[in-house]
Structure formats: structure tokens, C-alpha cells
Structure 1
Amino acid sequence: MKEHFPTFSQDMTIEEIGEAGNRYIALQWRALYGSMHKQLTAAFREIEDAAYGLYLDQLMPVLFERLEEAGFGVMEETEKHDFVIGKCLVFRNSLEKWGAEDNRSRVFWNVIQNPQGQPLGTLFTDIPHSHLKFDIPSPPVLYTLRESDREQIVQGIRRIKE
């Protein structure tokens, strides 16, 4: 897979971070999907939705690593029973409420902190997927919110998704 790493700088807004992340995903998602499809189809038969975590473990770490290299904080402290995929996607910071069984949407959110540790906003990752077979019907998409409080984040996600 040809790498097209996202580039981030400390002066970027949350919206600019989302745009750079979406460019990276647009360039990478389909080739990665194709190269892993057979393996993930077999995995889906055994572990169902967890197969999407295997995919995100390959797609998302570069994005979060590049943000960290630019000085941004991308993840809160994990708790004992947290389940994390894609390097920084924490299941307790996710919702899955939208779409039919063959095209569901799970949204994970990460509050992004500037290099001084202040919340810049929230990056949320929308992962379309099927519960019937291994299928990602369209590319994952990053959305941004200026909010950083959990309740406001959930309201913002609902505003965008509904």
C-alpha cells in the first residue's frame, strides 16, 4: 500500500485537522480494504464486528501518530476495562445508532488538545459497516466539532447524523 501520510502543524484548527485526515483516509481506505478483504471476510465469520477493528488497526494509527508528532493530544487516559482499536478509538467514546443492518454507522470521538493541553475540539470518526457480512460500503469520514464536553459532543454528533 502506497503511503500518503497526513501532515499536521500546531497552528491548525480542528476543521483543518479533519480535512487533512479525510484526505489521508480517501487515499488509503479502498486499497487497504481490498488488500485485507479476504482475511477480514474470514475473520468476520468468527468474530463478527470485531473484524472492523482489525481493519481500523491498520488504517487509523498513522493519523493519530502524526497528530501526536505535531504536538497534539489525541486520547484521554484509558480506564481499566476500556477497549481500544485503531490506536486511539475507545469504545466508551462511541455511538452506533444509525443505518440499516447492511450499512450501519459507528461513531468514535477523540477530543484533540493543542500542544499546551487545551481542548481544540473534537474529531469524530464515522465508520460505515455491515452487520450481515464484512463490508465497508463507503469510506470512513472524519467530522469535527468545536465542543469538548461529553454531553455537547453527543449532541453535536446527533445533530450531524440525524
Structure 2
Amino acid sequence: MNKSIPTFRGDMTIEEIGAEGNRYLASAWRGVYESMHESLTAAFREIEDAAYGLFLDQLMPVVFEQLEAAGFVVSENVKEDDFVIAKRLIFRNSLEKWGSEENRSRVFWNVVRNQQGLPIGTLLTDIPHSHIKFDIPSAPVVYTLQDTEPQQIRQGIRQLKEQEKQA
């Protein structure tokens, strides 16, 4: 298995997809972060939080490309005013309500469909970040939900973050 890219199969469950996504993120995020840190620190002074989008543009596309190569669909119709990062993370499909200014959490979601176009679940991509300076205090994490409707997804994210806070 190539550590530098995630490997997906068309018969994987949403949980297996999440586990493989996390394996990839754990092995890749630090190298991307360190290689871009200087330029993204400078970018943060100019564009603030948008610098994290530049980081995700380098880290995340391979996940979506490999999912699609395995036959999954992770995209949705993009609206004219949508802000899209990393090719598939749509800003309106995210929540940011948790953590301190030094360690905030933004969670993006992508509904995953199988080769027949049926939803199999939702991938949640949790990006820890600072609002004070360019810093990603820990690895991004992928979580999964069985839910695929926006209201249920938002509720699932809130429950997940509430459980984290209590742990």
C-alpha cells in the first residue's frame, strides 16, 4: 500500500472509507504543513483563514480523486456563489463552532454515493486551525455518518463535537 495516497475499493463501507482517509491524513498532513508553513504564514497575514484553504488544496484532492477512481461520487452541484476548496469541500457544507481562537474546528461534509448513485453515508473532514496565526495544531481527521440529509448531518456533527468536548 502506498502511504502517500489513499487506496479505496468500490465495495468499501463509509466506515472503511473513513479509516483509509484517516490513515492517509495521518501520514501526509505534517509533510504538507511543513513544506508550506512559511508561505502560508505569509499568506495568513494577507488573507487570514483563506490560507487554510490553500493548505487543503494540497492535502485533500487526492482523497476525492481516489474515491472517484474507485467508482464513488463525492461531488454535488456547485452553485454560482459557492466557495470550493480542495476541489470538493464546499464552504456552505461546513460548520465552525468549536474550540478556542488558537484551536478552532471547522467540519466539512461530503455525501458519498456508490457506483449506482445511492448514498452510502457522509464523510466529515475536521480541520483544526488557529484564528490568531497560521497554525494547524493537530492532524485533520475524517469522521463518518450514516446520515446523508443536510439537517441530519448538521445534527450529527454537533453530537460528535459535543461528545469530543465531554471526553
- Into which bin does the TM-score normalised by the smaller protein fall? over 0.9
Amino acid at match of 1:92: R
Equivalent residue number for residue 62 of structure 2: 62
Map 1:10-21 to 2 at 5 A: 10-21=10-21
Map 1:2-151 to 2 at 5 A: 4-151=4-151
SS in 2 for 1:105: strand
Amino acid at match of 1:141: V
Runs of 4+ in 1 over 6 A off after TM superposition: none
Matches of 1:10 and 1:70, distance apart in 2: 5
Shift, 1:83, TM fit: 0.4
Aligned-pair Cα RMSD in Å: 1.0
Matches of 1:161 and 1:89, distance apart in 2: 19
Shift, 1:67, TM fit: 0.2
Of 2-11 and 140-149, more deviation after overlay is shown by 2-11
CA displacement, residues 86-132 of structure 1 (integer Å, 9 cap, x when unaligned) = 11000010000000000000000000000100000000100000000
Task: Give 5+ residue unaligned stretches, structure 2.
Answer: 163-167
Matches of 1:46 and 1:4, distance apart in 2: 31
Percent identity reads 69
- Structure 2 residue 155 is the aligned partner of structure 1 residue 155: yes
SS in 2 for 1:24: helix
Amino acid at match of 1:161: K
Shift, 1:40, TM fit: 0.2
Matches of 1:92 and 1:113, distance apart in 2: 19
Shift, 1:38, TM fit: 0.2
Task: Give 5+ residue unaligned stretches, structure 1.
Answer: none
TM-score calculated relative to the size of structure 1: 0.98
Matches of 2:115 and 2:79, distance apart in 1: 23
TM-score calculated relative to the size of structure 2: 0.95
Shift, 1:3, TM fit: 6.1
Matches of 2:71 and 2:13, distance apart in 1: 13
CA displacement, residues 7-58 of structure 1 (integer Å, 9 cap, x when unaligned) = 1011100000000000000010001100000000000000000000000000
Matches of 1:154 and 1:71, distance apart in 2: 26
